[in-house]
Amino acid sequence: MRTHREPGYFESVTTRVWCLVVWCALGMRILPHDRQVAITIDDLPYATVGDRPTDASDFRRADSVNRAIVATLVRRHVPATGFVNQARAEGLGDTTGVKILKRWTDASLDLGNHTYSHPDLNQLSVDRFEDEIVRGETAIRPVRYFRFPFNHTGDTKAKHDSVAAFLSRRGYRVATCTIENDDWVFNAAYVRMLARGDTASAARVRAQYLTYTAAKIAYFARLSQQVLGYEQPQVMLLHANDLNAAMLDSVLTLFERERYRFVSLDAAQSDPAYQIPDTVITPDGPMWGYRWARARHITVHGALEPEIHGEIPSSR
C-alpha cells in the first residue's frame, strides 16, 4: 500500500504526549543482533479464490491446506496466529470447520478473530461491524487479537474511534501487519493452473511468488529503518490458501536466510513501535510501517514498493 505523509493526525495533547514517550523509547533502542518476525495467517479455515463463501464442497481442500500449513509450522517450530472467519467455518458444515480449527489449537497455535463474514468496514455502520466482531468469536476461546479485513480500520474518525473503543472494551488487541506479499493474487493464478493441469505454469507461479516475497521482505525492512531508525519485529501477513499450503516452508526459509527468528505475535507487538497510537484515518489498508510514517510525519516513497507486473504467469 503506497502512501505519503499526511499531517494533522495528532489531535489531542494526550496523543502527543503518549507518542513522545514511545518515540523516546524508540530512540533508546539498540539495533538488535537478530531479526524477528511473527507469522500470521488470515481467512481460516480456507481462503477461497475470489473471496466467495465456503461450502461443503470446499472441505477436502480446506482440510488439506490446513494439514499442510499446521504440519509445516509444527515441524519448523514456528509460533503463529491464524485469524478465523466464522462464516467460512460454518460453511464447511456443522462440525468440519470446527475440526479444522481444532487442529490449530491442538498444535498450540493461536487463533484470532477476523470477523464473522470478512466485511469491509468502509461499507458498514459501526453497529453492524460490532455485530460482525461478536459473531466472529463463536469458535475461538479465548480471543485476544482482532484483525481488520483488508486492514480497513475506519474511513472516518468517528468510525475509527468507535470501533477501536469497542475492541478495547472486549479485551482485544489489534493484530498489526508490517509485511504483505499479495499472496492472494498468486494463489488465484496457481489454482487456475492446477485446475487445468498446467503443472509447468504452476511451477512458474511458485517461483515468481518466492522471488516477489523476497523483494517484499527486503523492502519493508528498509521501510522500518527509514521510519523508526531500526527494524522492529516484523509481522507477516499470509492467507490460508492452496499456494501457501505448498510454499509456506519455502517462505519460512526466505526469512531464515535473512537471519530472522520466528516469534509469537505477542512477542513481536511488545516492541515500542507497536505502542504508537494508530491515528490514521483512511479508506485504504496500509501496512503499519506506512502508518508509523504518517504518525511521525516522515515522507516515504511508496512507489518504491515492489509491484506485480503483468499476468502471473503467462498462460499462452
Say how many domains are in the chain. 1
| 3-state SS assignment for residue 84 | strand
Please report whether residue 121 resides in a domain: yes
Can you give the pLDDT at residue 210?
98
> In what helix (H) or strand (E) does residue 14 lie, and over which residues does it extend?
helix 13-27
Residue with cell 484483525: 147
Give CA separation, 157 vs 100, 118, 119, in Å. Answer: 37, 21, 19
Calculate the alpha carbon distances from 313 to 189, 196, 310 in Å.
Answer: 7, 14, 8
- CA–CA gap between residue 157 and residue 143 (Å, rounded): 26
- DSSP letters, 244-303, are HHHHHHHHHHHHHHTTEEE--HHHHTTSGGGGS------SS---HHHHHHHHTT----GG
DSSP 24-74: HHHHTPPPPSSEEEEEEEEEET---GGGPPP-GGGHHHHHHHHHHHHHHHH
How far is residue 238's CA from residue 183's CA, in Å, rounded to a whole number?
7
Q: What is the pLDDT of residue 315?
A: 41
Please give the pLDDT value at position 18: 40
Q: For the purposes of burial, counting CB atoms within 10 Å of the CB of 24, is it exposed (0-12), middle (13-18) or buried (19 or more)?
A: exposed
**What pLDDT does residue 33 have?**
55
Classify residue 241 by its DSSP letter: S
User: Is 310 part of any domain?
Assistant: no
Confirm whether 213 is domain-assigned: yes
Please tell me the predicted confidence (pLDDT) of residue 311: 66
Print the domain residue range for 278. Answer: 13-302
Q: Does residue 71 fall inside a structural domain?
A: yes
pLDDT, position 94: 73
CB count within 10 Å of CB 67 equals 13
pLDDT, residue 138, reads 85
3 state DSSP class of 204 = helix
Query: What nine digits make up the cell of 156?
Result: 472516518
Residue-level pLDDT at 11:
35
Cβ contacts of 91 within 8 Å, gap of 6 or more: 53, 54, 55, 56, 58, 97
Cα(46)–Cα(88) distance, integer angstroms: 7
Does 46 reside within a domain?
Answer: yes
* Cell, residue 24: 523516546
Q: What is the CATH number of the domain that holds 52?
A: 3.20.20.370
Residues of the chain with pLDDT under 70: 1-33, 310-311, 313-316
Residue 131 counted as domain residue: yes
Is residue 313 in some structural domain? no
- pLDDT attached to residue 34: 84
Q: Is residue 2 part of a domain?
A: no
